[in-house]
Amino acid sequence: MSSPFTTLLDDARAAGRGVGAFNVVLLEHAEAIVAGAAGAGLPVVLQISENCVTYHRGLVPITVAAQAVARAADVEVLVHLDHVKDLDLVATGIELGVDSIMFDGSELPYEENLAATRDVARRCHDAGIGVEAELGEVGGKDGVHVPGARTDPADAAEFVAATGVDALAVAVGTSHAMRTRVASADRELIRELARSVPVPLVLHGSSGLSDAELRGAVGAGMTKVNVATHLNGLFTGALRQVLTAQPDVTDPRRYVSAGRAAVEEETIRLLRVLAEGTA
């Protein structure tokens, strides 16, 4: 059974476009990202990570809020669970009816990752939910950047065939949590992966890539492009400017709204960049 997630990514892959997938930390992130998508006239994926779930002390509040914001949008907005390792969260996500789940078994031994991912894919597909997985762990999640990590195309094709996932996150030289946009993606490897893997490819660690690198990665074959740290930096910077200029302000709306506006503006710009992907 096809899901909105697979339809969105398959259509974008066929057209050579990138789909922005941006992380939600606070409700204001969801509002900003959706407003930006509407401003760009392009679809977007709202991502809720396991770390975000821990911060909010549960999956339900932030996910239900994001779903409400998504449903009210004038453009297509999907709600996606990102880097989920806890199978209980997978079950709760299915109950809530999220659009897709990224099960992260990348730290498991290969056979265990394969078996667990295959089981998650079966459960999600039975509920009409798309599934993303990761092969070749992308560095940076613990503050250590590993740009040398690479996913083997033959291994990736075998993994997709064995698990039945709808999208695959691959390691192509990027790293999570980068605060500067100085990284580069291995475009030749992306091309090899795109030729070998029958499902859309996902680029994690995209905050470290410049606009030119983002366009090049999409042009080479990346479809879903995840961004978190870059937007969080803009959000925090905008708050800091208000608090520095107005040290006596106490109403959170006065400064949080500045962060929301900064993320909205950058969402518009990034979505347009990804839609222009060129080899």
Per-residue pLDDT for the chain (279 aa), expressed as one digit of tens each? Answer: 689 999 999 999 999 999 999 999 999 999 999 999 999 999 999 999 999 999 999 999 999 999 999 999 999 999 999 999 999 999 999 999 999 999 998 888 889 989 999 999 999 999 999 999 988 655 444 433 345 567 889 999 999 999 999 999 998 865 554 444 545 578 889 999 999 999 999 998 777 788 888 998 999 999 999 999 899 999 999 999 999 999 999 999 999 999 999 999 999 999 999 998 654
How high is the pLDDT of residue 278? 54
CA pair distance 174, 203, nearest whole angstrom = 8
**Taking a C-beta distance cutoff of 8 angstroms, is the pair 79, 48 a contact?**
yes
Q: Judge residue 19's burial from the number of C-beta atoms within 10 Å of its C-beta, 0-12 exposed, 13-18 middle, 19 or more buried.
A: buried
Instruction: Name the domain count of the chain.
Output: 1
Residue 156: the pLDDT is: 92
Q: Are the C-beta atoms of residues 86 and 50 closer than 8 Å to each other?
A: yes
The reported pLDDT for the residue numbered 79 is: 98
The predicted pLDDT at position 110 comes to 86
CATH number of the domain encompassing residue 269: 3.20.20.70
Note the pTM of the prediction, 2 decimals: 0.91
DSSP 20-68: EEEE-SSHHHHHHHHHHHHHHT--EEEEEEHHHHHHTTSHHHHHHHHHH
Give the pLDDT confidence score for residue 179 in this predicted structure.
47
Query: Which residues, at least 6 apart from 260, have a Cβ–Cβ distance to it below 8 Å?
Result: 28, 29, 31, 32, 235
Largest interatomic CA distance in the chain: 59
82, 104, 166, 186: which is the annotated catalytic residue?
Answer: 82
- 198: which DSSP letter? S
Q: Residue 140's domain spans which residues?
A: 4-275
pLDDT confidence of residue 181 = 52
The answer to whether 82 is a known catalytic residue is yes
C-alpha angle 211-178-109 in degrees, rounded to nearest 5: 115
The pLDDT, as a whole number, for residue 151 is 84
Tokens read off for 205: 């660690």
Q: Answer yes or no: are the C-beta atoms of 18 and 12 closer than 8 Å.
A: yes
